[in-house]
Amino acid sequence: MIFLLFSFTINLSGNIYTFQEYTIENNRYIGSDSLIGKLDLSSHWDNNRQTLTLQKEKVVYLIPDNPFIKIERDVYQLRYAPIRKDGKLFIPTTSLALILGGLLNMEANFENGRLEIGTRVNIYGIHWKVDSSSTEWTIECSPSLNYLFNKTNGEWILTLFNPIYNKKILDQPSKGLIEEIKVEEGEGFIKFRFKTKNDLPMDIIRNGKLLNIEVKRFEKRAIRTIVVDPGHGGKDPGAKYLGFMEKNIVLKVSKKLAARLTEDGFNIIMTRTNDEFIPLKERTQIADSARADLFVSIHCNASYSSNKMHGAETYFLSAAKSDWARTVEATENSAIRFEAEDNPDITEIDYILNDLAQTQFLEESQQAAIYIQESLIHKSDLYNRGAKQANFYVLRLNYMPAVLVEIAFLTNSKDRKKLLNDEFIEKTASAIAEGIEEYARVRF
């Protein structure tokens, strides 16, 4: 039986809403229809799953006669289950603070019999994940919250701009590989200062509502798994000249390289095997997920201001040391504009702010670049432009030695003739493979 009991009041940021409250089986309930209508909630009833989905700032899932509800990915147990009567779902009044607070991302509390729902927040909570080799510190926040992440004077610093948060999140004890966290509050910002064990590097990745900061400990290991990354692809052609496109040439070289390394007993993973667009960040995520021991990105060079420039060069991640290195860096990093087309909410500055440290593998990456460059020059009859440093996005996220090979210049007539020759492609792939094999022997 359903009995009308009293009216129930909600104060939502100063706006007063009154609802009819019912008693059902000796407990008090509010009709979900009235909540949806007055608070302007999006809703969907799934008749097959018998589930009501409510959405505002977050998503809440309710099932009749089931005391467990889901808010986003988290599961909570209610004291009383929602009840479905006469084709309508009724929500227990005692659970409204949890349910509406979650839906609206606001603080919600009962005061003097009224539900007070306060100021909207854009930082929802902080979560930890710790094991023996890694520590993750994750902030759940609004996707529009701006941030800056960098390293200054030995400290890793995360700055969040225009934050709205519960003061409880500031109480952050250190855990795992994060030895210390200091918090600094200011006008329009909050800063978290981190110190890691043995000065290990930190990595930050934004994934929708999650800002994931990760610290990893790595053991020196033999080269067994290698990721071969053919540059560009799909809507990103790379360098173009006289109708020839870099993306097609480097795919040919990469397939030959992968085949040769596979024959030599290495486990090979390619970021692409056909003409498709793979965002720069996804390429490195492929390598990290595979726990690869080496990342090799294959490219062709170009100089549209001078067709006299020719030869091969191999890069490892560091600050660019010359004007030409900065030019090549800017050219290869320009693929970000294609990522912005697919992800309109992700600006180029978001990638720039992901200023990821790879210092732990700097020496090993440099060694790999030198071995590959020397082999490429000796085996492929190319002018030696050297092993160089530059800050390529495609190398940044890699927690492993990583290099980028610029085979030859598509804009130079002699180099271009070589790049379009299948015998040269075969020879070049073999040369890069031999450089990798020599580097692997030294490491082993």
Q: Which residues contact 224 (CB under 8 A, 6 or more apart)?
A: 266, 267, 293
Secondary structure class of 35 (helix, strand, coil): helix
CB 88 within 8 A of CB 32: yes
- Rounded-to-integer distance, Cα 146 and Cα 167, Å: 19
> For all residues of the chain together, what is the average pLDDT?
84
In this prediction, residue 360 carries a pLDDT of 54
Global pTM reads 0.49
State which H helix or E strand residue 297 sits in.
Answer: strand 294-301
In this prediction, residue 362 carries a pLDDT of 73
In this prediction, residue 348 carries a pLDDT of 34
- Rounded-to-integer distance, Cα 432 and Cα 374, Å: 9
Classify residue 213 as left (phi > 0), alpha (psi -120 to 50) or beta: beta
CB burial string 105-141: b at 16+ within 10 A, e below: bbebeeeeeebbbeeebbbbebeeeeeeebbbbbbbb
Spell out the SS3 assignment of 191-234. EEEEEEHHHCCEEEEEECCEEEEEEECCCCCCCCEEEEEECCEC
Type of residue at 22: Y
CB 142 within 8 A of CB 99: no
| Segments of the chain scoring below 70 in pLDDT | 1-5, 119-120, 218-221, 318-360, 390-399, 443-444
- Rounded-to-integer distance, Cα 444 and Cα 438, Å: 10
In this prediction, residue 5 carries a pLDDT of 66
* Longest Cα separation, the chain: 90
In this prediction, residue 366 carries a pLDDT of 84
**Centroid of chain to Cα 40:** 33
- Tell the burial category of 203 from Cβ atoms under 10 Å away from its Cβ (0-12, 13-18, 19+): buried
What tokens were used for 322? 């010359």
In this prediction, residue 444 carries a pLDDT of 59
In this prediction, residue 67 carries a pLDDT of 93
CB 95 within 8 A of CB 138: no
Domains parsed from the chain with CATH numbers: 2-119 (3.30.457.10), 123-216 (2.60.40.3500), 225-443 (3.40.630.40)
